[in-house]
Structure 1
Amino acid sequence: MAQKVQVDARVPALSVALHRADRPLWQLHVGADSDSQFRIGSVTKTFTAVLVMQARDDGLLDLDDPLGRHLDVPAHGELTVRRLLSHTSGIQREPYGDVWDTLQAPDTERLIAELVRAERVLPPARRYHYSNLGLSLLGHAVGRLRGGTWAEVVEDRILRPLGLSGTTVERTERAVTGYLVEAYSDHARPEPWTDTGAIAPAGQLWSTAADMARWAAFLSDPAALDPAGAVLAPASLDEMRWPLTTTDETLWTAGFGLALILVPQGERVMHVGHDGAMPGFLAGVYGRRGGDGTPAAMGCAVLGSSGTAVEVLDLPHKLLAAAVEEDPADIARWTPGEPAPEAYRSVLGRWWSEGFEHVFSWRDGALQARSALDQPGRPPAIFQAEEADILRTASGREAGELLRLTRDAQGTVVRMHWATYRFTRDQQTFEGT
């Protein structure tokens, strides 16, 4: 499949890697080797977003803070961190001037000074509008919060801890050349190398396919690659993956979280990651979540040295699906578990609310609930005890809401209220008892 794309799309150099926790790293390289570096373009934004979430988790900022609270800007300082991350701020796509015509990127001082000439092309929160400018500003804000530059912080807080030794801010001797392959001949013309200057947090990084497959696996399943949460807590990456907008309201084929592209695959499978494009390069970096047969820490990267070979962007999705179909994860055998705690045994079984049946069970050390109408594969609601007979919904349906238990004189749970809705052992009208 990958070799066919190299031929059909006429890619001078193609580097592909697939990472999964239960198998050795799979790689294929044509016109390159495992150490070859490619520009990954806007995949860089996912690194900047993780830096922002680290700063949030460390109490240095809030996602609803205005940008101006953390970066001294002459304009647009009221735009929030969350809106900039999700490309819903309405700020124009690029810095002021014809950057991609002149290939002369501004330095940080000029980028900020010229914000007074940058447009708000849409009202905030109106709709998705991609912005390199917005992510660049966040990168500089994080650098200043940490007392350094964006380049220093991304090296110190992501690349080194995750062992991404093949990923660099600057081009190295291992970098391949990017090309424009002519449409009506097989001639490949080299594209100029460009330094993105102050736009670096939106698209500067160089990397290898192996590093990017590992990064994709981290974005989809951080607990498997970073169990201690040294880079970012799994809950924070869950937050990044939550869809905040759709990229196209007429098709609904992709969504956007906090700087992460979300591509649904059907059957409760989601591919999460980002595409990248720079002169002479295309990159697709995605991890896979959900679905039968998906192993832990599954990520795929396809890096190509042609700026027009759009097949490169589709290939990660095809390879992830094919890997699961042809070589699904081993099925772990079932083993008996511990009994439910005495306090919750009378909760287990069937309950009714609003005329619909729900099933409460004890699995994996937690109280869980499902609607009898849930489609196969839908995650259950999972509860965590806060105090006697009061539990909080930790995940799944009604996440964040309380579950309150009411007992009879013998201590048996006879009624429950979940998100204030009454649950009883038989069907009752709203008039109830």
Structure 2
Amino acid sequence: MTTTQEALLPGTRRALLHRIAVAQAEGRAPSLVAAVVRDGQTVWHGARTSVDGHGPDESVQYRIGSITKTFTAVLVMRLRDEGLLDLADPLEKHLPGTGVGEATIAELLAHTAGLAAESPAPWWERTPGSLRPELSDVLGEQPLLHPVGRRHHYSNPGYTVLGALVEELRGAPWEEVLRNEVLEPLGLHRTSGQPVTPHAGGWAVHPWADAMLPEPLEDLGRMAPAGQLWSTTGDLARFAVFLARGDDRVLSAESVREMRTPAAPAEAADVLDGVTYGLGMQIQRQGGRLLVGHSGSLPGFLANLTISVEDDVAAVVLANCTSGLLLGAVGADLVRIVAEAEPRIPEPWRPLREVDPAVLDLVGQWYWGTHAFGLRATADGLLSLAPLAGGGRRARFRANGDGTWTGLEGYYAGELLRPVRRADGSLSHLDLGSFVFTRQPYDPEAAVPGGVDPEGWRGIG
């Protein structure tokens, strides 16, 4: 991936620089580095102050903390796609004896397994991983704080367990599997478990004085799958493109879309912010824009990866300070600046390559009771159902090859759309998950459940 600074207008580039400059100055970060991706390419890179005396570029490593969890989730999804596990499997089926075996793989990915947020003392982020050599040391005597599957409760030990699952099914260390199956195929050559020069040092900034203190850089050991990785804006920009589009060498577009789909209820405190969690990815609606990605922090470092799939814009922001910056807000602002200043140019409309008479027979206006809908055949081979006025259920449908169609999203996700024909082959109605759609409101010629009054429509007389 090449950086093409000219791809953005000068005014947009200045707005991006201003945003990170304000963040670095007000947040008092020793250094801050950011990148913006659009249309699959890095189109802007910016940095403030220095690392070891020079301005950090897209190859300088920072610790990325919990963004590591998204990488671990990708490995688990690969195991699922290969048929080595099902997301509904209880952990005990593949990794027995943990004490949390009733939790499913999906629940662990979505932080709904009921596990504690942290490992038992001492504070794991500031102490050597050698203090927790076994899973039992990470999980402790009381690993479950909540009923399994009942609520979203963010858990670092939960992703340690998922890393152990990867090692069990692959027969190799987590980091080795990650390098072979994700980092190398995607070209993330500057992402690693240990820092590789050039890299930033981690600092704590005194809350009441402009003074700094170096933070310890601990190897997390068993807990590495929850937060060990170091990376760069260049590598995370490539990773953002993968999370938005997929890459068949690693995960299909359909599987990364599944990761970006809400899989956990929002915590009560997050409901107003529209924050929820998918399978290894944080999801938030902000300013009418759906943002996905992940944040990360470890002593001395903050990190954020934010993606707007609809705008095809992503932002990476990294800083080497323990606190003081809300990088999620910075990342969201960088995405917004580009998306609003230079809106995405839509793909040109193109007609269908082939016209199927049977599909043309389906399209047009339909009624669910008295609600009017339009069914349209699109150039990507799908059917699109949407209300003709006001709000209502909408979905796209994929052909099954036998005349039926399966819903891809919303209320009708997974539901079957079946054209029902009369004895002479003419189209009578559509059956959508048992709902009957007719060409006219309550068409008496169609098999409407409950029948249609034979006197038909009338006024009040």
TM-score, structure 2 as length reference: 0.85
Superposed CA offset, 1:142-179 (max 9, x none): 02211100010111111000001111111112121111
Residue of structure 2 equivalent to 1:9: 27
1:232-251 pair list within 5 angstroms: 232-251=251-270
- With over 3 angstroms needed to count, the CA separation of the structure-2 counterparts of 1:64 and 1:363, relative to structure 1, is same
**Does the CA-based 8 Å contact 1:107-1:198 persist in structure 2?**
no
1:273 aligned to which of 293, 296, 308: 293
Residue of structure 2 equivalent to 1:400: 414
3-state DSSP class of the match of 1:386?
coil
Amino acid at match of 1:355: T
**Does the CA-based 8 Å contact 1:381-1:397 persist in structure 2?**
no
- With over 3 angstroms needed to count, the CA separation of the structure-2 counterparts of 1:237 and 1:22, relative to structure 1, is closer
- With over 3 angstroms needed to count, the CA separation of the structure-2 counterparts of 1:97 and 1:84, relative to structure 1, is same
- With over 3 angstroms needed to count, the CA separation of the structure-2 counterparts of 1:40 and 1:24, relative to structure 1, is closer
Residue of structure 1 equivalent to 2:276: 255
- With over 3 angstroms needed to count, the CA separation of the structure-2 counterparts of 1:149 and 1:379, relative to structure 1, is farther
Residue of structure 2 equivalent to 1:320: 335
Give, in angstroms, the shift of residue 245 of structure 1. Answer: 2.1
Deviates more, 1:47-56 or 1:15-24: 15-24
1:213 aligned to which of 205, 213, 237: 237
1:20 aligned to which of 17, 38, 53: 38
Residue of structure 2 equivalent to 1:369: 385
3-state DSSP class of the match of 1:29?
strand
1:71-150 pair list within 5 angstroms: 71-100=95-124, 103-106=127-130, 109-112=133-136, 115=139, 117-150=141-174
1:51 aligned to which of 66, 75, 78: 75
Amino acid at match of 1:246: P
**Does the CA-based 8 Å contact 2:376-2:384 persist in structure 1?**
yes
Residue of structure 1 equivalent to 2:220: 196
Residue of structure 2 equivalent to 1:179: 203
Give the whole-Å Cα distance in 2 for the aligned partners of 1:109 and 1:150: 14
Choose 1 or 2 for highest CA Rg.
2
Superposed CA offset, 1:100-129 (max 9, x none): 386132467423366461331111122111
Amino acid at match of 1:12: P
Give, in angstroms, the shift of residue 78 of structure 1. Answer: 2.1
- With over 3 angstroms needed to count, the CA separation of the structure-2 counterparts of 1:187 and 1:104, relative to structure 1, is same
Give, in angstroms, the shift of residue 11 of structure 1. Answer: 0.8
1:292-307 pair list within 5 angstroms: 294-295=311-312, 298-307=313-322
- With over 3 angstroms needed to count, the CA separation of the structure-2 counterparts of 1:245 and 1:366, relative to structure 1, is closer
Amino acid at match of 2:265: T
Superposed CA offset, 1:213-260 (max 9, x none): 2212322232xxx2xx11011111122122122342244120011121
Give, in angstroms, the shift of residue 396 of structure 1. Answer: 4.7
Residue of structure 1 equivalent to 2:432: 418
Give the whole-Å Cα distance in 1 for the aligned partners of 2:205 and 2:320: 10
Give the whole-Å Cα distance in 1 for the aligned partners of 2:156 and 2:42: 36
Give the whole-Å Cα distance in 2 for the aligned partners of 1:118 and 1:92: 8
Unaligned runs of 5+ in 1: none
Give, in angstroms, the shift of residue 299 of structure 1. Answer: 1.9
Give the whole-Å Cα distance in 1 for the aligned partners of 2:229 and 2:166: 17
**Does the CA-based 8 Å contact 1:14-1:305 persist in structure 2?**
yes
3-state DSSP class of the match of 2:413?
coil
TM-score, structure 1 as length reference: 0.91
Give the whole-Å Cα distance in 2 for the aligned partners of 1:251 and 1:71: 32
Give the whole-Å Cα distance in 2 for the aligned partners of 1:351 and 1:25: 45
1:374-385 pair list within 5 angstroms: 380-385=395-400
**Does the CA-based 8 Å contact 2:395-2:412 persist in structure 1?**
no
- With over 3 angstroms needed to count, the CA separation of the structure-2 counterparts of 1:27 and 1:116, relative to structure 1, is closer
Residue of structure 1 equivalent to 2:348: 333
